[in-house]
Structures are given as structure tokens and as C-alpha cells.
């Protein structure tokens, strides 16, 4: 019999009078390798915080029967000093960040590696990890996969389909405020949910067809009832023989019969189980001409670019050109200089030429472009140049519901804040966008939504992402940083 590691019962959590969790019963056993997925804002991080003891629920109880290691989505790494000497130094070395353990100058990928090293070096029986592959390059993701394969029990919040398929034996989601489990990896989960969606669409089509048929029958019965009460223009032989009064009773009886039949049909319509119509998204195109875009064939270029942090040389004679309208994925190992190049472009480094009309919009994970005291809609309109209809359409395409545009930015989840920051750039006057890991903290539906909207973007796009499928779907070419140089390549990742 499997050993029970953790159980939670009657867990409730609310924010601003809105209940986001109502978990009846959750049990984690030894051997459970759980991928935790779901839309941004549903409460995944909140639930992990409660299960790990970082925060308390409004109601309910959590019982932990073993020590839990927790890599949180935001914040600095938490060091387990008791086990540090034994295990963490080894993990820091394996993740190639031993020299960064006490440094303030770390990249996003290095910070993620530090968090993983401390969490996985703690030798706990149950591990929680919230977006553990954020900012990791291919080597870091491969290393983390090896760690997962060696763990007996864990819960990871992730949108990495490869990790979920290769290392998880269960998928956990939040549905109707409660948790639900599915056996297998992500593909098995998708097969079940896709079939559920197809069945719902088929049921809706049948519902519409039957409702339409009954409405036609009802209209026909009502028309016949109306016709039955009309006095005939010419008296029939029956009327002549039986007399007008008897015929009138006959017509009245027919009317009552048709009315009764019509009421019966209407009752059947009223008693039908209502099927929801599948949502269809209204798409309003962004008016890109409002950004006054440059007409030059090349909008950014660098010739023999050099850069170093002290003795740490990042670029040594790197040269590149970014063509107008290109969607360029910037690739390279963590620490190779991807974010450094973005920063050099953004601050106007004299080694990099930018055409006069090129206006840079830079997205990074600090969320500095959001006003926490303004609503979602107010944020996107504050410095946008598109109409409110276009702004609302962009929010809708990034999966913000109508009821969510009035939420304050300060109460949004990490994924929702990412999407809002991206939406602000898309409706701004900027015509060259630089996006540093835009898929971090996004759920899979949001990644696909962003993927679609960026694939249609008319301006010039530079982005960094560790999501291979996202890169291949969006980019038109690669700019690869290797050995302190840069090289361009048509198409996506092989």
C-alpha cells in the first residue's frame, strides 16, 4: 500500500470576497509524480503555497507526513541550511551556478538554476516546483528532467509538454474551484479533454437542431390554431347540413386541439437541457499604421560589437542585421548574452544602429510597465494608441474575460500580469518589440493564444523563449549567439 505523504481537507481560499479554492479532499502518496496545470489565475500557486505551509487557508487543514521542498515561482531561493553542506553544493555545481550562489549579478536562467539547486539539494521526500523551467535553456531543462526522473514524488506547475509527458504519471487541474486528477501525462489528459470538447460541440449541435425542429412544429401548430378560428368565406356542405352553430363548435374544438398541441411542444422546448454555445472570439485587427513604422529594409544592425562585464567577455566582434518585419528568435545558452544584447539595444548602445523611426517596446519579467492601482483596461489604455475596441479585442485574444478587464493589476496572477504587459506593448506606439521569455508563467491555452497573435504581428519582433514549439510557430529566422559571436539562420529550430 502506498505511503501517504500529504493530505488536505476542506481547503477554502478567497481574495476580495471571491472564492478561488474550495478543495474537498486532496491526498498525495509516495510515487505520485504530478503535473499541475490550469489557466492563469485559477489558484495553482496559491494552492501550492498552502500545501507547502507558506500561507494559510481561510478554512481547512493540511497534514504533512514528510518534509517538503518548495521552489516558488517568484522571489529569491530559499536555502535549507541544515542540509546545505551535504547536498546543495553538489547541486549548485551540477547546475553550473556554484560561483553565483552569493552574487547579486545573476540572469533569469541562473536564478532559476539557483532555486532548483537549493530545492533539490535539500533531500526532501516531496518536492513542489512552480514553473521550474522558466528561463532555462535546453541544457538546464535536460538537467532538470534528470532530476525529476530520480525523484519519487513531486508536484510541478509547468507548461512544458515534454516534461509533463516524460516524467509525470498524473495530471492535476483545478476545475470548479476543486482539484481533479487524470492518469497519465499531458497527452493523455488532452485526449480526454479534447474528446469532452468534441462531445460538447456535438451535443450543442444536436440541441440546436432539435430545438429548431420543435420551434417549427410549434409555429405550425399556432398557425393552424389561428386559421381554425377564422370564419370561412363560403359555407361548406357540412355547415349547410349541420347548421352554423354545430360547425362553430367543430372549429372551436380544432382550435383548442391545435393550441393544446402547441403548448405541449412549447413545454418540450422549455424542458430541454440547455447546451452552452461554444465561445467564438471576436477579432478586431490592430491598426499598425498608427505606429508610423519605418520603411527601411533593415531596422537594427550591429557591426563588430564588443561587450564585457569586467573580465567576462560577452561579445567579441559580433555582427548582425534585423530586417524590417522579421520575427527573430534569439537563441543561445544561459549566460551567452541574450538579455545583454536586448539591454544594449534598449538603451541605445552606440555600437548598434537603429533607424530613426524604430521605436522599441521591451518586455521583461519585472512588470515595471504595470500600474497596480489601475484596472486591466485602464493599464492597456494608459499609453496605447489603438481604440478601446481594439484594446478589448487584444485582451480577449489573450484570454481575459469580460469580467476580468475591471480587475486591478495588483491582484493579478503572475501569468495574467505577463499577458497584460504584453497586451500593453501590442497596442502601444512601439513598432519594434523585444520580448524576453514571454511564455514564462503562462498556461498552455495562453501560450497558444500569444503564439497566434504574435504570428500576425506586422512589426519587427525579437524574442527569447525556451519553448521550442512556440519558437518554431512564431519566428521567421534565428539569431544565434555562440562563442561570443552572432549568426543568422532562416527558419526555426531543427
> Is the separation of the CB atoms in 54 and 70 below 8 Å?
yes
Q: Residue 219 phi/psi, 5° resolution?
A: -60, -40
- Ramachandran area for residue 297 (φ above 0: left; ψ -120 to 50: alpha; else beta): alpha
In order along its 494 residues, the chain shows pLDDT tens digits of 689 999 999 999 998 788 999 999 999 999 999 999 987 778 898 999 999 999 999 999 999 999 898 888 766 555 555 555 456 677 777 766 666 666 666 666 777 777 777 777 767 789 898 888 877 777 778 888 888 888 889 999 988 878 898 899 999 999 999 999 999 998 899 888 888 878 777 877 777 777 777 778 777 766 776 766 555 555 555 555 555 555 555 555 666 666 677 677 677 777 777 766 655 555 678 899 999 999 999 999 999 999 999 889 999 999 999 999 999 999 988 788 999 999 999 999 999 999 999 999 999 766 567 889 999 999 999 989 999 999 999 999 998 888 889 999 988 888 888 999 999 999 999 999 999 989 877 888 888 889 999 999 999 999 998 888 889 889 999 999 999 999 999 888 87
Q: How many residues in the chain?
A: 494
> Is the separation of the CB atoms in 5 and 65 below 8 Å?
yes
User: What are the C-alpha distances in Å from 347 to residues 158, 340, 344, 354, 360?
Assistant: 33, 11, 5, 11, 10
Which architecture does CATH list for 4-184?
3-Layer(aba) Sandwich (3.40)
Residues of 68-100 as b/e, b for ≥16 C-beta within 10 angstroms?
A: bbbbbbeeebebbeebeeebbeebbebbbbbeb
**pTM beyond 0.75:** no
> Is the separation of the CB atoms in 23 and 152 below 8 Å?
no
CATH 3.40.50.300 assigned to domain 288-369+425-490? The reply is yes
Amino acid at each position: 500500500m502506498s505511503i501517504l505523504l500529504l493530505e488536505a481537507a476542506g481547503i477554502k481560499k478567497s481574495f476580495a470576497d471571491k472564492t478561488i479554492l474550495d478543495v474537498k479532499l486532496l491526498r498525495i502518496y509516495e510515487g505520485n509524480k504530478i503535473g499541475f496545470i490550469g489557466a492563469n489565475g485559477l489558484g495553482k500557486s496559491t494552492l501550492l503555497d498552502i500545501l507547502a505551509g507558506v500561507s494559510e487557508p481561510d478554512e481547512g487543514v493540511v497534514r504533512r507526513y514528510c518534509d517538503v521542498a518548495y521552489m516558488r515561482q517568484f522571489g529569491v531561493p530559499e536555502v535549507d541550511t541544515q542540509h546545505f553542506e551535504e547536498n546543495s553544493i553538489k547541486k549548485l555545481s551540477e547546475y553550473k551556478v556554484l560561483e553565483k550562489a552569493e552574487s547579486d549579478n545573476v540572469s533569469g536562467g541562473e536564478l532559476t538554476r539557483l532555486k532548483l539547486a537549493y530545492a533539490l539539494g535539500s533531500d526532501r521526500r516531496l518536492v513542489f516546483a512552480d514553473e521550474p523551467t522558466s528561463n532555462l535553456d535546453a541544457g538546464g531543462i535536460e538537467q532538470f528532467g534528470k532530476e525529476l526522473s530520480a525523484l519519487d514524488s513531486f508536484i510541478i506547475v509547468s507548461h512544458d509538454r515534454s516534461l509533463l509527458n516524460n516524467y509525470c504519471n498524473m495530471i492535476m487541474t483545478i476545475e470548479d474551484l476543486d482539484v481533479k486528477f487524470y492518469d497519465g501525462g499531458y497527452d493523455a489528459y488532452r485526449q480526454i479533454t479534447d474528446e469532452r470538447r468534441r462531445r460538447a460541440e456535438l451535443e450543442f449541435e444536436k440541441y440546436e437542431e432539435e430545438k429548431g425542429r420543435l420551434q417549427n412544429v410549434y409555429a405550425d401548430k399556432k398557425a393552424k390554431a389561428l386559421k381554425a378560428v377564422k370564419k370561412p368565406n363560403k359555407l361548406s356542405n357540412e355547415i349547410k347540413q349541420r347548421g352554423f352553430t354545430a360547425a362553430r363548435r367543430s372549429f372551436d374544438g380544432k382550435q383548442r386541439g391545435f393550441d393544446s398541441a402547441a403548448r405541449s411542444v412549447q413545454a418540450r422546448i422549455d424542458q430541454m437541457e440547455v447546451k452552452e454555445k461554444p465561445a467564438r472570439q471576436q477579432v478586431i485587427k490592430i491598426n499598425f499604421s498608427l505606429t508610423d513604422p519605418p520603411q527601411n529594409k533593415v531596422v537594427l544592425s550591429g557591426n563588430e560589437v564588443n561587450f564585457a562585464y569586467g573580465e567576462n567577455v560577452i561579445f567579441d566582434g559580433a555582427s548582425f542585421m534585423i530586417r524590417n518585419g522579421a520575427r527573430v528568435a534569439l537563441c543561445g545558452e544561459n549566460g551567452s548574452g541574450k538579455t545583454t544584447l536586448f539591454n544594449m539595444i534598449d538603451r541605445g548602445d552606440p555600437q548598434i544602429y537603429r533607424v530613426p523611426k524604430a521605436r522599441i517596446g521591451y518586455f521583461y519579467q519585472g512588470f515595471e510597465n504595470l500600474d497596480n492601482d489601475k484596472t486591466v483596461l485602464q493599464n492597456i489604455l494608459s499609453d496605447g494608441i489603438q481604440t478601446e475596441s481594439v484594446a478589448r479585442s487584444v485582451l480577449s485574444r489573450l484570454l481575459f474575460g469580460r469580467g476580468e478587464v475591471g480587475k486591478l493589476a495588483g491582484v493579478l496572477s503572475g501569468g495574467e500580469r505577463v499577458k497584460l504587459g504584453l497586451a500593453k506593448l501590442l497596442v502601444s506606439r512601439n513598432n519594434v518589440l523585444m520580448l524576453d521569455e514571454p511564455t514564462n508563467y503562462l498556461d498552455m491555452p495562453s501560450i497558444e493564444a500569444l503564439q497566434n497573435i504574435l504570428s500576425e504581428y506586422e512589426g519587427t519582433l525579437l524574442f527569447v523563449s525556451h519553448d521550442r514549439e512556440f519558437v518554431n510557430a512564431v519566428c521567421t529566422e534565428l539569431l544565434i549567439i555562440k562563442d561570443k559571436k552572432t549568426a543568422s539562420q532562416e527558419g526555426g529550430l531543427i
